[in-house]
Amino acid sequence: MTGWTQGEKHLIAAAAAAAPSVHNTQPWMLEFHDEYVSLYERLDRALPRHDPLGRDRLISCGAALEHVLLAMRVLGWVPDVELRHDRTHPDEVARISAVGRAEPSDVELDRHRAITARRSHRKPFAARRLDGDMRRVLLGVRGIDGVGLRVVSEPAEIAALARLLNHSALVLRADCAYQRELAAWTAPVRQPLPGAGVSSATRRVSTLPWAGLVRRTTAIPDIGFLADRLSREFLLLVETPDDGRLDHVRAGMAAEQTWLTTVAAGLAGSLLTQPFQLHEVRAGLMEALTLGGFPQLLLRFGHP
Ligand SMILES: Cc1cc2nc3c(=O)[nH]c(=O)nc-3n(C[C@H](O)[C@H](O)[C@H](O)COP(=O)(O)O)c2cc1C
């Protein structure tokens, strides 16, 4: 191909802008070239306290990349992705070229429609269990190289998760630098623009700590209560074989593909990494769930 039309650029950029991102920082930028589109991470959107290693920034870029790929498919292009790890362009995350033409599938059209419907659902879900529904939905997830989606459902696993989330909530609630950063990235409105920080609704104490963002005023329930609530949600841990730059991007792609697939199936969900910023929480999860890889994020799904 040689060049993108204005309409194509608009659709691709709009899809990226609707992707979830850590603290709604939207830490990416697209650059359109005749032969390809480059996705860059925006280092000026760093969160030094919450995300000192930039892991969440790259997971966010992975989510945006998944949206870009879907937009290209809906435009009838067959995308080819090259994930970048090049010292001369350290902030370039991916190059996406259009290498052919093909009609989008129904699944791709459904996922693309889900881009605008997706929102972080931090509230509790309806009481209906959804193990069967979710397992059917997961069959439709194509998956991303090497990324594992680990269901967390055994009572002993849920109990361990509750202990770790409780611990991280207590630590982060008392971390003044962390709280200052979160306050700075909280928009004064319920529906902030892309890149303008998290919704003011996340300030409410009613959003429980495993599903929301722990603030100074967040009431932290006891471990038994937490375990009971978690046991009624469908929990998926995204893990990667290694813990490098490309693993983080792929984790974001896999998470977003899964999230869009569940939204297309009428479910709601949210994504958490906040507790994973504590080393002991990641290490504790690896041990309690006998993971072979590195836990990157937790997805929770349910009926809205
Ligand atoms: C890498 C990453 C980490 C996130 N971590 C959390 C989290 O720990 N808790 C939470 O409530 N939301 C988390 N989110 C959700 C973002 O806050 C949310 O995507 C953003 O505010 C935009 O809102 P939306 O998802 O409703 O479009 C995370 C999102 C990403 C991509």
Q: List the CATH number of the domain containing 141.
A: 3.40.109.10
Q: Please check whether residue 1 lies inside any domain of the structure.
A: no
Q: Which atom of ligand 1 is nearest to the CA of 59?
A: 1
Number of domains in the chain: 2
Does residue 293 share a domain with residue 173?
yes
Best residue for ligand 1 mutational test, from 58, 120, 122, 204 (most atoms within 8 Å of Cβ)? 120
Q: Please check whether residue 296 lies inside any domain of the structure.
A: yes
Does residue 214 share a domain with residue 261?
yes
For 222-270, the pLDDT digits (tens) are: 999 999 989 989 999 999 999 999 999 999 999 999 999 999 999 999 9
Does residue 170 share a domain with residue 95?
no
Does residue 239 share a domain with residue 144?
yes
**Residue 130: per-residue pLDDT:** 75
Nearest-CA residue for ligand 1 atom 19 is 20
Does residue 99 share a domain with residue 164?
no
Does residue 295 share a domain with residue 151?
yes
Q: Please check whether residue 123 lies inside any domain of the structure.
A: no
Ligand 1 centroid distance, CA of 293 (Å): 23
Does residue 142 share a domain with residue 113?
no
- Within 6 Å (CB) of ligand 1, which residues are found? 20-24, 56, 59-60, 63, 119-120, 122, 198, 212-213, 270-274
Ligand 1 centroid distance, CA of 90 (Å): 25
CA distance 271 to 252: 10
Count CB atoms within 10 A of the CB of residue 183: 12
Q: Please check whether residue 124 lies inside any domain of the structure.
A: no
Question: Which tokens in the block code for residue 9?
Answer: 């650029």
Does residue 62 share a domain with residue 27?
yes
For residue 149, list its beta bridge partners. Answer: 238
Q: Which domain holds residue 95?
A: 6-117
Q: Please check whether residue 175 lies inside any domain of the structure.
A: yes
Nearest-CA residue for ligand 1 atom 11 is 212
From first to last of its 304 residues, the chain has per-residue pLDDT tens of: 678 999 999 999 999 999 999 999 999 999 999 999 999 999 999 999 999 999 999 999 999 999 999 999 999 999 999 999 998 999 999 999 999 999 999 999 999 999 999 999 988 888 777 777 777 788 778 788 899 999 999 999 999 999 999 999 999 999 999 999 999 999 988 889 989 899 888 776 555 666 778 998 888 889 999 999 899 899 999 999 999 999 999 999 999 999 999 999 999 999 999 999 999 999 999 999 999 999 999 999 998 8
**Inter-residue contact 79 to 69 (CB < 8 Å):** yes
Does residue 243 share a domain with residue 153?
yes
Does residue 145 share a domain with residue 14?
no
pTM of the model: 0.96
Does residue 183 share a domain with residue 280?
yes
Q: Please check whether residue 122 lies inside any domain of the structure.
A: no
Pairing of strands 234-240, 92-101: unpaired
Does residue 141 share a domain with residue 289?
yes
